[in-house]
Chain A
């Protein structure tokens, strides 16, 4: 318990917020951006120190707890502002502050010409603060503060260019859709409070662990489903994913921050944090896995045909988040969190790379009007390729290792099965294909932009390209932190892993105290009478082979369709126009929601306004106000200003007092 600096982690960005919000407009731009970046760097340094401190402790003592002050203490509610740093939150704070820091640095270049520069950095710091608070909180209520904070900041940042109606609408959409999830999360929180009498993680989880069957499974399932419903809002899963693709209306660094470091990972984190609750509610776990798998496939399908570079990436995020929930759903929480981390690297890289492209192309986002950019932008091209290979799952890139673990657990876990695995593998194929499509269409083939734009294409400034290179290093090597045992047998891989010093204790081992191991999950499930499937390295290798072949196939298909024979994709689309249109219009989900939820909701609201509020409530309120007003004017006359009357009033009062007392 020597590490006393946890509070600094969220405090640093908060200070940045205050500086940029109040005196940012007085500072030179460079200083304002540098302060914001340094604030996040401060969090990063403290986070890494905390992580190293944890690594230095024996495995069973790796929980640092720091309570700052009592926050709410009335009646049964007793909540502290307290932080907890265990392996799970340590990984999360490092990812959030690390990736967040790189994105801040990148933004200094990207937003250099924006008139609301300090405001942008104030929001970005606030976003980072909220996310760090969410991750570090030691109880549900404080977590909820961060949970709402990221929703608020996403609203502010997505709608940052609020002059554009589409941006303003996207900001509102993000906020409102998130509210639906938040509502479920609050309900879940209240259920937890009612059931366990506490909101502190430690208390709640200890109670569940001590007496797993004391609480009816139905209650546990309801709690977990409500929490998961909250997670679907924040982490963009079916049915609440609709806000994320629109969120790319914000400046590109914001998209990177939302998609990679903050916000969308909150849901996965929360589910992993509550894994003890979830493993005691197998039905809820199945729902998590099912929704995750469905979202992964669904979003990948939509991603196939989108033409906006950021929109494709947005759907790929939704799809990858689906993988993470699939992992959680089959009880492999560590694999889910590992994918959060690797995904943070390559998704940040993809978004920042696309930002670099958009920057060079003068705010052009349509890949149909790009092509051949590799000849002007080598750094962007090669880093983008690395991210593409990582997300597609080409062996030894980080994405391959994390995704393959998820697929393996989806196959082998007692909660998984062939169906989940198949969906995951098909999604992997689709992912490889659409990422290859975006990359080839953007960077290779014939240039399709006009002359004027072409002349201005340039590589991005150093502050942006250095960030890309750093992220690319992460996207390649992050996987070695959690090399599966099966692969370690292959000599060069094992040797490389040893070189990184990651062999002794893998990422999963490190996370085990926080999110449990597969064995723990199995034990919990055993109590609920589930079969455990024995696993073997041979099967793991075979399945891995299938995935790799499919990924390579996906990229090759992309190469064939978009570089070798550029017209072929169009002819395929024309052969099945209904399918193409269905995908292009995103399965008409937005239209469906508009007809089923938004329209009736607006109608109801209109009725409540005109019918109930104006005619009934307002009338009552006005009547009450009028009556009160009449009385107060009436009684005001008693205040005559004459001392004799006042004295008489006192005497009358005294008589009443004595009368009451001597009744």
Chain B
């Protein structure tokens, strides 16, 4: 392959990778300012980081309009744009939530925000890669800062333990990824995702892609690759936990979407089916007896990975249903970002200085002292549980209906039943907060928990967004659908038969006795 090193080619390359390097450059700037400017300026670092995130967002949108030609390594199609913007939103919320927390816990150091932003640029690279090697780069760029961030409370054993565990197991997962890529290359002679999967050559390729899946499954915490999650989530500083629960998961799913998008064989459907079912059941089941709120949210994040995988399963199968499934996945990632950050932010506020109160028992009767915070927590938890009118409900609705539409009613039934289990443990926290009495001892010396202005603003905004996105679900879904469509653009169209969703079928069933011809109706609806 001859490389045409014209200016135009370099320009194209620069624009295609612009989202990633613009954020990385901003991170580097934050790092340098943190290292070389006096400590007194450090309070400006989060603002600098936020500006970087915003600039990177603008660059992303702009670049997507300039760069057109796919160059084989990464692409900047509308999926990349939607995905990057979700990641950037998450990063921005992460930075805002971190800044009062790291000050309170005396963790404030310049590299904190830089690491966060580096990690996000890795996530963006994963969602944009067309090549296993690029994806591996992204994976490492995502993971290594996270290992460091997990151990940021370096004087505490639990944080050190979290960082070490995450690092060891993460390296193990990375090894799977590299070995898988090697197998793919050995089998097909290419590391391009599309080319390798199109080759369709036997067991070695399958094993290779399977191992890549193991690594990505580790990142998004699919059962049985999830076991690090509760330990790391509990030990890491809470702001880092919040960040990683959202961004690392989104990154993993972005990578998975790139691999799954070309369409996979029936064995894969079975595998993803099993993983999704197992993750939903296991995550929700083990969440029930948890006593620590961070561990509870860790298992909750595992179960959400199961729901999201369901949407990817539809993408792997059928390009028409897949668009619905994938747009539901992106929608869910966005919603999950909002509600999960919200829940963790409340956890930060409630825990108090030194992160002391993180057990569910500590939440007992807390609504008496801080009714507003308890109400906000309930909004986020109810949204996570999937109760209307919050956005979480619509996220689940779209995922479940996509699964039904793609022909996986069984999986959707499992999802609904496990969601019911989820309601139990989410509501348990609400019940503890609102309906139980505070332990008698020490009520007097506990002042009412109040959020700092930053948290007040963030929590209010997140709660409002959780409600607004619920009400305006359709336009948001439209936006994510644009991203989903570009993923399946290259695939041959599925059979042209008319699809019926569950509602249509029910409607046809009911309307039969009235002897009304449905043909006209059908044309109308699918016109």
Interface on A for B, CB 8 Å cutoff? Answer: 69-77, 193-195, 197, 214-216, 219, 625, 628-629, 631-633, 635-636, 638-639, 641, 643, 645-647, 649-650, 652-654, 656-658, 660-663
A662 near B203 with CB under 8 A, answer yes
Which listed residue, B207, B224, B471, B507, touches A652 by the CB 8 Å rule?
B224
Q: A75-B401, A657-B213 are in contact. Are A646 and B228 (CB under 8 A)?
A: yes
Contact at B165–A75, with CB atoms within 8 Å? no
Contact among A76, A197, A216, A650 for B514, CB-based, below 8 A: A216
- Which A residues touch B207, using CB under 8 A? 658, 661-662
| Shortest Cβ gap from A95 to chain B (Å) | 29
Q: Bound state CA distance, A376 and B471, in angstroms? A: 55
Contact residue among A74, A625, A633, A654 (Cβ-Cβ distance under 8 Å from B397): A74
Whether A654 touches B211, Cβ cut-off 8 Å, given contacts A75-B502, A643-B169, is yes
Question: Restricting to B188-202, which residues have a CB under 8 Å from any CB of A?
Answer: none
User: Is B421 on the interface with A (CB-CB < 8 A)?
Assistant: yes
Q: Is residue B81 within 8 Å, beta carbon to beta carbon, of the partner chain? A: no
A647 touches B474 (CB 8 A): no
On chain A, the residues within 8 Å of B514 by CB distance are 194-195, 215-216, 219
A69-B472, A629-B289, A662-B207 as given contacts; A650 in contact with B525, CB under 8 Å: no
Mind listing 20 A-B residue pairs with CB under 8 Å?
A: A74-B501, A75-B401, A75-B501, A76-B503, A193-B507, A215-B516, A628-B285, A628-B288, A632-B288, A643-B168, A645-B227, A646-B165, A646-B227, A654-B210, A656-B224, A657-B213, A661-B209, A661-B267, A661-B268, A661-B271
Instruction: Kindly state whether residue B214 has any CB partner on chain A within 8 Å.
Output: yes
* B203 engages A647 (CB within 8 Å): no
Interface residues as binary, B283-326 with A (CB distance below 8 Å gives 1, 0 otherwise): 00111110000000000000000000000000000000000000
Q: What 0/1 readout, one digit per residue, does chain B (261-278) give for beta carbons within 8 Å of chain A?
A: 000000110110010000
Closest CB-CB distance, A656 to chain B, in whole Å? 8
User: When the two chains form the complex, which single residue of A73, A633, A646 contacts B169, counting CB atoms closer than 8 Å?
Assistant: A646
In the complex, what residues of B have CB within 8 A of residue A649's CB?
224-225, 227
In the assembled complex, the CB of B5 is this many whole angstroms from the nearest CB of chain A, namely 40
Across-interface contacts of B271 in A (CB, < 8 A): 657, 660-661
Q: Which residues of B contact A628 (CB under 8 A)?
A: 285, 288, 421
Chain A residues with Cβ below 8 Å from B507 are: 76, 193-194, 197
Number of A-B contacts (CB under 8 A): 129
Shortest Cβ-Cβ A-B pairs, 8 listed: A70-B474, A653-B224, A75-B501, A75-B503, A646-B227, A197-B521, A73-B474, A632-B288
Are the C-beta atoms of A76 and B501 separated by less than 8 Å?
Answer: yes
Instruction: Fill in one digit per residue for B499-527: 1 if any A CB lies within 8 Å of its CB, else 0.
Output: 00111100100110011100001001100
Which interface residue of B206, B271, B475 has the most chain A CB atoms within 10 A? B271
Contact B286 A639, beta carbon cutoff 8 Å? yes
Q: Is there an interface contact between A650 and B206, defined as CB atoms closer than 8 Å?
A: no
- Select the residue from A70, A647, A660 with max chain B CB neighbours within 10 A: A660
Chain B residues with CB below 8 A from A71, complex form: 471, 474
Residues of B with C-beta under 8 A to A647: 168-169, 172
Q: Please give, as numbers and ranges, the residues of chain B lying within 8 Å of A625 by CB-CB distance.
A: 424
**B173 at interface, CB cutoff 8 A:** yes
Would B515 and A216 count as touching, CB distance under 8 A? yes
A637 CB to nearest chain B CB (Å): 10
* B118 at the A interface (CB under 8 A): no
**List of A residues within 8 angstroms of B511 by Cβ:** 194-195
Taking the closest CB of chain B, its distance from the CB of A23, in whole angstroms, is: 15
- Assess whether A650 is in contact with B218, with CB atoms less than 8 Å apart: yes
B213 touches A76 (CB 8 A): no
- State in angstroms the CA–CA spacing of A662 and B211 once bound together: 12
Cβ–Cβ < 8 Å partners of B421 in chain A: 628
Pick the residue among A72, A195, A215, A643 that contacts B474 (CB under 8 A). A72
